[in-house]
Amino acid sequence: MGESLLVRLTLEGFSCDWYRQGGAALAALQEKTYGLVISDIRLPDITGDTLFHQLRETNTSIPPFIFITGFADIETAVELLKLGAQDYLTKPFDLDVLVEKVRAILGGAETGKGAALGVSPVMRHIETMLHKLAAGKTSVLITGESGVGKERVALELHRLGQGNRPFVAVNCGSLTETLLEAELFGYEKGAFTGAQRTKKGVFEQADGGTLFLDEIGDMPLSMQIKVLRGIQERRIVRVGGESAIPVDFRLICATHRDLKAMVESGEFREDLYYRITVIRLRIPPLRERKEDILWLAHSFLADLSAQHNGEICVLQPAAERALLDHPWPGNIRELKHALERACVLSEGRVLSPDAVFDRSAQTEAQSAKSLSSLGDYLAESERQFILDMLEKHDWQIQICASALGISRKNLWQKMRKLDISRG
């Protein structure tokens, strides 16, 4: 099979090295840079998953992996996907399908468009959708729990379609109604006390680019009609102004709330709902796409290396298992904060489960066992995460709510529900 693959890929124009032993491939990968690895699960000397694990343990920069597997090894291949492998094919496989996958992966690498959002099937599908949407200006609504990466998806869509144009974001739940109107539409000099100069709002700032209205579900009803008018007419009037100003932008909105239910309860305008929901993208919580957990963790650790003189923190295998087992009620934001805290506080560069979660693994396991259901465990995890954020921001509710990506009102509601108080 190796020789057939070598011949076909060479004919397709790819430069290839063929290693008949896993050990030889391991040595080569530690010395040379490759754009892609195609490996059988079963090799003459070691298994393909052993090769993959050994590369990760040596902190080698790992290229995308496509694994070839028999039916009996499918479970192993799926586990490898969760650990960051790119894809797998089962025997017997179609060579044309493999070539298409190789072209897709290497084509993305050549243009800087490798996996940007995750390696799980659902995030790959969303990324494919973004490529289809990039050329137009269709309004997009991104939904999902707080911390799942809605703004990251919005930024990627903007990058694909209008990367050289302005991307302007505003959190609709973090501002009072008066401030929100001035932030959205701008104001004229002297429009109110303190308006010492004319200021453009985000509708104007986004002209020619992308306007991202985050947490639009937290926007007051009285503001929704003004926003709807601006979106429909593509013209706005500044606070204290008289003349209409034309604007042209792509609109992307995001929310963690159920807007359809809010429409039915009268909390959200139906006409605005249908105006912003031309295309809807739901970002699943991290616990539903565990394949992305370690991929994101390694990406965050690489980014954090700049804060440690280029030294990259690495995870113990036990820490990786703990990351995969954790439900992540705070999603990607919680994961990033946990790793950042661990890198700052850990004495070494190898992170244990205790360092990542800031508590002993035994205590965590006992705590989990003492709770009667997954719902209880998620609630307790959410409570601890909010407490940590409140402490980090010295219990300044507005600042903490903004950091969490929710409104001040929602934070107060969660604090009451989860029995959180400073005392």
Assign 77 to helix, strand or coil. helix
Does residue 29 belong to any structural domain of this protein?
yes
Question: Domain of 313: which CATH number?
Answer: 1.10.8.60
Residues 277 and 292 in one domain: no
Residues 183 and 141 in one domain: yes
Residues 102 and 171 in one domain: no
- Count the domains in the chain: 3
Q: CB-based contacts of 294: which residues, under 8 Å, 6+ apart?
A: 82, 83, 84, 315, 320, 323, 324
Residues 278 and 301 in one domain: no
Residues 247 and 340 in one domain: no
Structural domain for 86, as ranges: 2-113
Residues 278 and 137 in one domain: yes
Q: Identify which of 123-132, 225-234, 345-354, 376-385 has the greatest average pLDDT.
A: 225-234
Does residue 423 belong to any structural domain of this protein?
no
Residues 276 and 308 in one domain: no
Assign 350 to helix, strand or coil. strand
Q: CB-based contacts of 221: which residues, under 8 Å, 6+ apart?
A: 267, 268, 269
Residues 108 and 238 in one domain: no
Does residue 364 belong to any structural domain of this protein?
yes
How many angstroms separate the CA atoms of 205 and 217, rounded?
A: 22
Share of the chain above pLDDT 90, in %: 37
Mind listing the pLDDT tens digit for each residue in 266-318?
999 999 999 999 999 999 999 999 888 988 998 888 888 766 666 778 888 88
What is the DSSP-derived secondary structure letter of residue 308? Answer: G
Q: What is the pLDDT of residue 61?
A: 64
Of 230, 254, 282, the position where a domain reaches its end is 282
Cα-based distances in Å from 119 to 126, 158, 291, 302 = 11, 20, 6, 17
Flag whether pLDDT at 399 surpasses 90: no
Question: Domain of 51: which CATH number?
Answer: 3.40.50.2300
If one compares 356 and 90, the residue with the highest pLDDT of the two is 356
Does residue 39 belong to any structural domain of this protein?
yes
Backbone angles phi, psi at 416, to 5 degrees: -65, -45
Backbone angles phi, psi at 356, to 5 degrees: -70, -40
Q: What is the pLDDT of residue 268?
A: 96
Torsion sign over Cα 149, 150, 151, 153: positive
